[in-house]
Amino acid sequence: MDTKPQSTLPVLVEPPRGAEPHAPLGRGYFLGETRRQQPLPMRESLAKIKNWFRANSLWVMAYGTGCGGIELRPLTTARFDFERFGMAMRPTARQSNVLIISGYLAVKSLKRVIRAYEQMPSPKWVVGLGSCTINGGMYWDSYNTINRLDLYLPVDIYIAGCMPRPEALLAGFGELMAMIKRGEANGWNHYLENFDWYKENQKKVINDWNMPDYNW
């Protein structure tokens, strides 16, 4: 199981609005991973080692997008201390592996989140925090928020709650680590493979799309 089948995602958008990625997909600079191969036994054990390293050193992007940011403070500080598990906050997208979407996303925030996500180096993971990322939560009928995060970004794991307590976050990250070690957390690959679909969805809600179309 590496990706959710496309069909389970509700199709939100009509045909793309035109703007094509500026480089054809698959010929980008670092797109080797989209050409997937049957892993050799040797590569598989190597992948295991890689995944072990990745799982035990999760660097979290320090971006509190919504209410959930408030519970990230106890999580990162003394009471719950997620550094015990090798996690750390990174203030720059270029060095982060985990993007926490802490609750609802206003459309304006979504644009920044997408930008940040695309700047993060692979492999990268998205953690959806709370009801809002799952199905809209409190803001299901708000005119300025998105309801389902997985239409716009590949979410690897959801933690239910509003807000999820730090303990729940720890459990969620524990599960994410386990998934990474098992090689199941492949949202980033899903993003690459369904890049056009995600881009269409994103452009559907973001009206002032003035970002370059990254081709990964």
* Nearest Cα to Cα of residue 169 among 88, 68, 90, 95: 68
189: contact with another protein by CB under 8 A: no
* Position 73 contacts another protein (CB under 8 A): yes
Residue 170 binds to another protein (criterion: CB under 8 A) = yes
Q: Which spans in 77-194 are helix H?
A: 107-119, 131-135, 166-182, 187-193
173 vs 200 by CB, closer to another protein: 173
Residue 136 vs 203, nearer CB to another protein: 136
Q: Of 1 and 15, which has the nearer Cβ to another protein?
A: 1
Distance separating alpha carbons of residues 173 and 167, to the nearest angstrom: 10
Q: Which residue has the tokens 């049957």?
A: 38
Residue with token string 């492949």: 186
Of 12, 13, 23, 162, the one binding another protein (CB under 8 A) is: 162
Site string for another protein, 15-54 (x = CB under 8 A): --------------xx-xx----------------x--xx
Residue from 13, 21, 34, 136 in contact with another protein (CB under 8 A): 136
Q: How far apart are alpha carbons 195 and 170 in whole angstroms?
A: 30
